[in-house]
Structure 1
Amino acid sequence: MSPAQARERFRSGERVPTAGWCRGWTQANLIAVPKRLRYELLLFAHRNPQACPVLDVGEPGSWSTRLFPGDLRTDLPAYRLYRDGAAVADLGEVTGEWRADLVPFLIGCSFTFERALLAAGVPVRHLEAGVNVPMYVTSIPCEATGSLSGPLVVSMRPVPEHLVTTAVEVSGRYPMVHGAPVHVGDPGAIGVRDLARPDYGDAVEVRPGEVPLFWACGVTPQAAVLASGVDYAIGHLPGHMAILDARDDDYRVA
């Protein structure tokens, strides 16, 4: 399926997590903030590049970008609306909520390197199970800017112990889409108390002989919107991504 075909299906009302969709095409997180915060969000991303790798930015009020020629208001499967530092609604489209002062940011997504993990023999459990990737809010603070601060969010994939090095090396070749894991092993060391209860997405089984690997996640800007009390913002519903007209291999380094 092409990105344009996927966007058409979402525009027509299909509401599903996008892990495994449009293999070979890049997916991205969406966060749209008021114009007055655009440079502050850019600075936040610059200070926290592994969690917030910026792939594209739109003009104020625009609903498309160079890499996303569709309609950002309708062509993702689901959205989350924020007001005054609270998530107030999950929506199928946000045409009526999209303000003229909103600036859309597209942030790299770890779905981009999952095809490479599979090719290297590393299992991806949420794809096997047909569910959303599990995501967790950690106790690790991001580096703050003037008014934006918040915790690092991570995604988790369990990996057989003998393939941990392979998973680290393969994902490390994709630095613009989070790169190598930020943590390997004990979830408690990063403030994750229960793998069976993710903050976003779905829990997956961690089998005997497997190690949980945690990658920085592009939901981190949404966590900052919450923690910082931002008055208005629109993001994707975690795991329900923007599918870009860019290839996964565009973000691979040797």
Structure 2
Amino acid sequence: MSVDKQHLLQFLLRQGDNTLVLGHRVSEWCGHSPILEEDIALANTALDLIGQTQMWLGYAAEVQGEGKSADDLAFLRDAWDFRNVLLTELPNGDFGRTLLRQFLFDAFQSVLMGRLMQSSDETVAAIAAKASKEVAYHVERSADTVVGLGDGTEESHRRMQEALEYLWPYVGEMFASDETDAAMAAAGIAPDPASLREEYDALISKVLTDATLDIPAATYAHKGGRTGYMHTEHLGHLLTSMQWLQRAYPGCEW
């Protein structure tokens, strides 16, 4: 079944913007991590996410058909044109919050990539197959860290529980569905995000239980990022930093 170009474009922007924005956030730890090993690990995670962005936004630019590149989409769009979930743009907070946010996102990606590898769109399937190798590592690493900190000292446990309380209201947006998702599912390109929730909950529940963390009972979910309807104030500040060089020196090349 064919799919409207605009729906496919929106889907690809959502994928690419998630990894772009989170990749930039994680890169902010470079030179500031608690120990050298974590500094290197987070820098590599950020590089993986940016590499995935290159694939998603590169395909998005191709589908858009306006002669733009992945760099154009990354550096020359304004905040209201971004389609990332709000979770990815939240400030890093302390090291524990950063790794818990990473785990909550990695778990979603691990479930999603498994489905996207079966996509009817050959390019989407190929991107997912390549990204899945990195995602598998990311979710294993972030899960181990969450368990280590959650089931660690009294101080680390307290901080991780507070981080979970803070981040939990942003989890639900990853499973929100709209007409773009319906079009992707009907064409066999991508699953309806809502259909991934059960598998996701099973994955994170095991890890959070091992981490001795209590999953909040609240079901409210902040939304607006993946549709571009509303972002937090944090995205604008992030883009100011990320896009400054290209905006100040248009067309600049290394």
Using the size of structure 1 for normalisation, the TM-score is 0.27
Greater share of helix:
2
Between the two structures, name the one with larger relative contact order (CA 8 Å, sep ≥ 6): 1
Asked which structure has the greater CA Rg, the reply is 2
Greater share of strand:
1
Using the size of structure 2 for normalisation, the TM-score is 0.27
